[in-house]
Chains A and B, each alone.
Chain A
Amino acid sequence: MAELLQHLLNGLVLGGTYALLGIGLTLIFGLINVVNFAHGEFYTLGAYVSFAVLALAGIGFFVALVAAIVVGAALGWLCEVALLRPLRNESIDTTMLVMIGVWIAMQNAELLGWGGVAKSIPHPFPTAPLVLGPVAIAPLRLFVLVLAAGLIAASWLLIQKTKLGRAMRATFQDRDTAALMGVGIGRIHAATFAFGSGLAAAAGALLGPIFLVYPSMGDLASLKAFSVVILGGLGNLPGATLGGLLLGIAEELGAGYISSGYRDAVGFVIIILILLFRPSGLFARQERIA
């Protein structure tokens, strides 16, 4: 029983981090319809910014987080304006290929700039785990979970309550009508890309101290983010949140009780099953024509 509880707790913590990755991507994918393979690279970028601020400049954790978000958002905005906007009328695979090029370029630039050796980010939390009955969790992870939840809540508020959020939702539902109603589509696209990339960078800054920072850390993150997006439904923010948690728990239980070698297969199989039987995602209320 203790083993099962520990697995569930592990899965919850892991899932929170997947959720953060998925939210940014679901907005980009859902709204701008770009298969953003470079999403993982913004995650990596956030981690490296955090490393630079914390380990090199020696400033505090929150500053690092904010810096990561700002840099991620700025670069995301730049990508949209410089690369995606001119290719707006091209097909989805052209824009996807451009993002693949960005992915290759960013990852190798990081390899060139920082070297291939993994970096570890110092953090102020004690390493001894908090013991809650039969299970244990590290204070740092708890902190990250809380912050992630905070960021998710903040994103939700932004989408629901602000004028920008309303404009984004309108564009998502019906682009042409939104344009007719005076919404600047270009601005919304750029803002969405910046927002999603900023969130990915935040995920990187938060997860950097838990794991390690190295140039190829974003590859798996991208793939997991796509799984979460599918689980939750394109453009569905609460769906992505729940989807992330579910994926984390499913992976954890699969690795714990079935086979650790096939751990990543859990995510893939879930995608296949969901797409075959409920393509709009587990949590979407209305059926979207695929």
Chain B
Amino acid sequence: MTRAGGWLLAAGALTLPLCLQSTYHLHVAIMAGIFGVLAMSLNLLLGYTGQLSLGHTAFFGIGAYTSALLTLKLEWSFWPACAAAVGLAGAAGFFIGRLALKLRGAYFVLVTISFAGVISLVSVNWIELTNGPLGLPGVPAPELGPWSLRTKTAYYYLVLAAVALSYAVCRRLVRSRIGRALMALRENEALAESIGVDVTHYLVLAAVVSAAMAGLGGSLYAHYTRFVSPEVFLFTYTVTMVIMVVAGGKGTLAGPLVGAVLFTVLPETLRAVASWQWQMLAYGLLLVLLLFFLPRGIVPQISAYIAGPPRSDPGSRAPSP
């Protein structure tokens, strides 16, 4: 990603509301942004530590419910509620991290699924707190001083800021010593441990940041859709997040964002072009095809293409991230 390219992208993102033809498109852009934050959070765990969490909706849901409940029942303003959502989700991440990160591979996957399952059942059954299946309608829109951020354009910029923040956090983390330690873990855990990398410590750290970011996504979701119900824990959201990360390119910074945009736009495009009977079937088939032809993900594949076929001389440039 060259510097000029980066500036161009930023300019495009900032002026998007002016270029788009309708608020429906803005709606799609906002959803893409929220899922971008979620995908990046999952990527921290999946792409950089190699551990697959299929329970990320738990942190997403905790963030959404915390933010909604604090603004609805205790009448907090959006900003502290959002911070609380991020904090609580992060705490949950710490809890799961400490417990579950003794496990690896498929076992870790199953613990995360079970955790999300339990949280989901609590949200359905603990009526006094969460209002159960009836959900929490009427979550207020955020306010910045005297201005309400209710309009789509305003909310778009809020989400854009969150996306930029999350990206920056990921980037700092990945490029720091912590990031290098994580990647060492991903490549060869035993070896990393042998040279003194404290495995559990770094994994838990990644889990906390990852969960906190997912909580941010949850809070943004709650205040945009203004309705939170136990359906936020639906397994399809987990599946969507995973698809975005893996198809976009896990272990890259841009991959999850590309994946988020593609897989938010794709179902809406299918809604426009395919009659309802064929939409989900087409979606499943497209997914299989995509993975078949681009198993590493879109961004790594494009980077590899740009860098050209690997040459045997050691002086060749490394592919861009």
Contacts and interface: CB of A to CB of B under 8 A. Distances in A.
Interface stretch (A46-54, A105-113, A134-142): A105-113
Contacts of B250: 93
Contact of A262 (B104, B125, B285, B291): B125
A97 B297 CA distance: 12
B203 to A, nearest CB: 13
B52 interface: yes
A272 B115 contact: yes
B304 to A, nearest CB: 15
Interface in A86-126: 86-87, 90, 92-94, 96-98, 100-109, 111-112
A98 B125 contact: no
Interface in B210-263: 235, 239, 242-243, 246-247, 250
A104 B283 contact: yes
A276 to B, nearest CB: 6
Contact of A112 (B114, B281, B288, B292): B281
Contacts of A290: 102-105, 107
Contacts of A105: 281, 284-285, 288
Interface in A46-96: 83, 86-87, 90, 92-94, 96
Contacts of B164: none
Contact of B292 (A83, A219, A262): A83
Nearest to B132: A261
B4 interface: no
Contacts of B118: 265, 268-269, 272
B113 A226 contact: yes
A265 B111 contact: no
Contacts of A90: 295
Given A87-B291, A98-B292, A268-B118, A108 B106 contact: no
A176 interface: no
B121 A264 contact: yes
B277 A104 contact: no
Interface in A148-199: none
Contacts of B287: 97-98, 100-101, 104
A259 B125 contact: yes
Contacts of A83: 288, 292
A92 B284 CA distance: 19
Interface in A254-283: 259, 261-262, 264-265, 267-269, 271-272, 275-276, 279
Contacts of B109: 35
A33 interface: yes
Interface string B98-137: 0110111111011101110110010011000000000000
A268 B242 contact: no
Contacts of B247: 97
Given A92-B52, A112-B281, A271 B114 contact: yes
A238 B283 CA distance: 38
A275 B106 contact: no
Nearest to A110: B281
A223 B120 CA distance: 14
Given A262-B125, A272-B114, A108 B292 contact: no
B46 interface: yes
Interface of B: 46, 52, 99-100, 102-107, 109-111, 113-115, 117-118, 121, 124-125, 235, 239, 242-243, 246-247, 250, 277-278, 280-281, 283-285, 287-288, 291-292, 295
Given A101-B284, A276-B102, 11 more contacts: A96-B52, A97-B242, A97-B247, A223-B117, A268-B117, A268-B118, A271-B111, A271-B114, A276-B99, A276-B100, A290-B103
14 contacts: A96-B52, A98-B287, A101-B287, A102-B288, A108-B281, A112-B281, A219-B235, A226-B110, A226-B113, A261-B125, A268-B114, A271-B111, A272-B111, A290-B105
